Amino acid sequence: MQSFDLTPSERQELYKFTIDFLEKYYSDTKSNRVSPRLDISEIVKEVRKVDFSAPLTSKEALKHLVEGMKNYSVQTPHPKYFGLYNPRANFPSILGDLITAVFNPQLAAWSHSPFANEIENYLIAEFGKKFGYSTESIDGVFASGGAEANLTAVLCAVNYAFPQFAKSGWFGVRKRPVMYCSAESHHSVHKAAKTVGLGYDAIRNIPVRKDLKMDLEILKETIQKDVHDGYQPFLVIGTAGTTGTGAIDDLPGIRKIADDFGLWFHVDAAYGGAAVLHPDLKPYLNGISLSDSITFDAHKWLSVTMGTSLFITRHKEILSETFRITAEYMPKEAKDLEIVDPFTHSIQWSRRAYGIKLYLALMIFGWEGYEKTIRHQTEIGEKLKGLLKNSGWTVMNSSPFPVVCFMDENYLDNPDFTKTVIKNIIDSGKSWLSIYPVFGKPTFRACITNYNTSEEDIEALVSELNEGREILESRIKNQGTK
């Protein structure tokens, strides 16, 4: 029987093959197309051509896997991927993932993986301080992503507002609960409302002002009306760096309204939270320290591999109140030590150690390394805005972050313009960017999400955009003369 360990010499050989392939890909990402040609049937066929009743040699299997990943993925690590907040993963975080896989620590109970657990506690404490919470009050838990962290926030807010919820659920709640977020907030908030059994109707999507921030006048009026109509407002979510346009809500203003009406105030800083590591950007997050809880994704701007989000709160007891459960079969050491078991703090039970990769990256780069990287990306973002303006594009958002929504104003009412230009660029394999509607009109959205993106890369992007526009313009002219 073949041991699942394989033999030491096979392992050496496979490690070497894998590392050689990955190193070539990692150091030379730029030589690939940014996006694959999306032929669904070809991809499905490629995945299914292996038959598990006739196993491959380990070398064949590995080759099939890494080549498939290379050929059939949008290359988010590519410096000309200007897309969503999907970074190139920094190298320490990649090693951190490998180390995590080999030790495979179980983070349900503290006593099984004390070192990995204390790494996460340390990171929660350090980031809590960076966000301005006072040291004694910081608590939190790592989550798989911003969606889970936001769901954790909604659950905490529910348990805070309705202390009997843990026992009797919604059946013990008399008035209909409602929560508030801006129309630009991330849809994971809606998913959370649906998951906790409130449904979409419990969400008030507050319109944004011209600057794409939540309109606090409307927020206040809506809450007043809801109170008057017999609803029970319990939560308001501000966003610090919206997914679409990088807008930052007026956090101190939201705090005040939350206090007036006794609401939990959560800040979704999944992307923008990184700004606290940069002295020039930090002031834009003013007021985040006044929140009750924060979502922050390290797998976005901090460029660690996927599955690393932090939920941080300044209410020490709320996570236990929300997730505690008695489980007789779990290791009991926690009872005698001054520690908490993560399974009493998290939606998850068996849990991967998410913190290790962030810990390794921070040990190697330090806060200073992150500050420099964030500065570089912000500068490239500012340069991109300048280049676009010079070429007759109008920037439609005003984020201090390197997220740029732009349009040629001559085509504002032409719904095909963005689609056609973007399709040409993506099909060419040279760059990847997205479309995002600003006040209902499609715009181009380019984000400097990769720390390796250089001036040369953004110059090339602007040329590709200009070319796309020229092609379209001449096509329109030709149609006119026909």
Ligand X SMILES: *Cc1c(COP(=O)(O)O)cnc(C)c1O
Among 97, 249, 250, 297, binds ligand X (CB under 6 A): 297
- The CA distance from 141 to 153, in Å, is 11
Among 107, 138, 147, 223, binds ligand X (CB under 6 A): 147
Of 152 and 188, which has the nearer Cβ to ligand X?
Answer: 188
The residues near 146 (Cβ < 8 Å, ≥ 6 apart) are 186, 188, 268, 270, 295, 297, 300, 309
146 makes contact with ligand X (CB under 6 A): yes
Of 113 and 239, which has the nearer Cβ to ligand X?
Answer: 239
Please work out the total of residues on this chain that contact ligand X, with binding judged by CB under 6 A: 15
Q: Whole-number minimum distance, CB 308 to ligand X, in Å? A: 9
Applying the rule CB under 6 A, the residues between 17 and 76 that interact with ligand X are none
Q: Whole-number minimum distance, CB 106 to ligand X, in Å? A: 23
- The CA distance from 291 to 147, in Å, is 18
Among 81, 85, 401, 406, binds ligand X (CB under 6 A): 85
Nearest to 405, CA basis, from 383, 385, 386, 421: 385
Q: Whole-number minimum distance, CB 266 to ligand X, in Å? A: 11
Of 243 and 399, which has the nearer Cβ to ligand X?
Answer: 243
Q: Specify the residue for token string 């101190």.
A: 252
Segment contacting ligand X by CB under 6 A, of 43-51, 140-148, 199-207, 441-449: 140-148
Q: Whole-number minimum distance, CB 143 to ligand X, in Å? A: 8
Segment contacting ligand X by CB under 6 A, of 38-46, 66-74, 238-246, 399-407: 238-246
Among 90, 239, 322, 344, binds ligand X (CB under 6 A): 239
- The CA distance from 175 to 232, in Å, is 6
Of 139 and 297, which has the nearer Cβ to ligand X?
Answer: 297
142 makes contact with ligand X (CB under 6 A): no
Q: Whole-number minimum distance, CB 184 to ligand X, in Å? A: 9
Neighbours of 370 (CB within 10 A): 20
287 makes contact with ligand X (CB under 6 A): no
The H-or-E segment that residue 168 falls in is helix 165-168
Nearest to 388, CA basis, from 443, 339, 320: 443
Q: Whole-number minimum distance, CB 79 to ligand X, in Å? A: 21
Does the CA dihedral 213-218-222-223 come out positive or negative?
Answer: positive
Residue 320: alpha-carbon gap to chain centroid: 25
Of 298 and 462, which has the nearer Cβ to ligand X?
Answer: 298
Applying the rule CB under 6 A, the residues between 162 and 191 that interact with ligand X are 186, 188
Q: Collect contacts of 410-419 with beta carbons under 8 A, ≥24 apart.
A: 412/441, 413/441, 415/442, 417/442, 417/472, 418/442, 418/443, 418/444
Of 113 and 188, which has the nearer Cβ to ligand X?
Answer: 188
Edge to edge, the sheet with strand 139-143 lists 139-143, 309-313, 293-297, 264-268, 231-239, 176-182, 203-206
Q: Whole-number minimum distance, CB 447 to ligand X, in Å? A: 10
Applying the rule CB under 6 A, the residues between 262 and 281 that interact with ligand X are 268, 270-271
Residue 153: alpha-carbon gap to chain centroid: 15
Q: Whole-number minimum distance, CB 268 to ligand X, in Å? A: 5
Segment contacting ligand X by CB under 6 A, of 139-147, 161-169, 207-215, 248-256: 139-147
Of 133 and 271, which has the nearer Cβ to ligand X?
Answer: 271
Segment contacting ligand X by CB under 6 A, of 7-15, 68-76, 236-244, 414-422: 236-244
- The CA distance from 238 to 249, in Å, is 6
Return the residue nearest ligand X (CB atom): 146
Alpha helices, H only, 205-266: 216-228, 251-261
Segment contacting ligand X by CB under 6 A, of 206-214, 235-243, 455-463, 474-482: 235-243
Angle at 290 between CA 312 and CA 181, to 5 degrees: 80
Applying the rule CB under 6 A, the residues between 305 and 344 that interact with ligand X are 309
Residue 286: alpha-carbon gap to chain centroid: 21
145 makes contact with ligand X (CB under 6 A): yes
Maximum separation of any 2 CA atoms in the chain, in Å = 85
- The CA distance from 90 to 303, in Å, is 6
Of 190 and 430, which has the nearer Cβ to ligand X?
Answer: 190
Residues contributing to the site for ligand X (CB under 6 A)? 85, 145-147, 150, 186, 188, 239, 242-243, 268, 270-271, 297, 309
